[in-house]
Every structure is written in C-alpha cells, then in structure tokens.
Amino acid sequence: MFFESIKIMMLGMGTVFLFLTIMVYMTKLMSKLILRFFPEAPKKAPVSSPKPVAASPKTNENAKIAAILGALQHHHQLEKEGKI
C-alpha cells in the first residue's frame, strides 16, 4: 500500500514537471516567433537642443530620477536583446 502511494505520487510529480517543462519551452518559442514576425520598430528620440536650467533644490532630485530612468531603459533594452 505504501509503495503504491509513492508510485502514484511520483507519477503525479512527473506529470506536473513534464507539463511545466513543455510550457516553458512553448512560451520561449512563442516569444521568438512573435518577435520574428512582428518586430518592434525602433523608437526615434526627438532631437531638441538642451535648455539652460536655473539651479534649484529639485534639480538634484530630477537628476537622480533621470539617472534611474536611464538605467531602467538600458536594462530593459539588454533584456530584449537577450544579453541578460
């Protein structure tokens, strides 16, 4: 009786593992197919001349926010290119 329950448990765990493995590979395949047939168009940044800004207490905070946003965009781009 004990070994039958172990056998059923292993069969169930094997089934779940097999299903999850297939799901992961199918998701990767679907992602590659979508990117192949529907590539994202590169976004062009608008060209503008830098404007002089008067120094204020928020300038430092805005610079930090700009640096964080730049790092996030860089990280996202690396993920899309598959370098991470």
The structural domains of the chain, with segments of one domain joined by +, span: 1-40
Looking at residue 55, what is its pLDDT?
A: 56
**Which ranges constitute the DSSP H helices of the chain?**
2-37, 57-81
Helix (H, G, I), strand (E, B) or coil at 58: helix
Each of the 84 residues of the chain gets a pLDDT tens digit; together they read: 899 999 999 999 999 999 999 999 999 999 999 999 988 877 777 777 666 655 566 678 888 899 999 999 999 888 888 887
For the full predicted model, state whether its pTM sits above 0.85: no
Q: Output b/e per residue, 10-24; b: 16+ Cβ within 10 A.
A: eeeeeeeeeeeeeee
User: What gap in Å lies between CA 65 and CA 71, rounded to an integer?
Assistant: 10
Looking at residue 48, what is its pLDDT?
A: 72
Looking at residue 56, what is its pLDDT?
A: 62
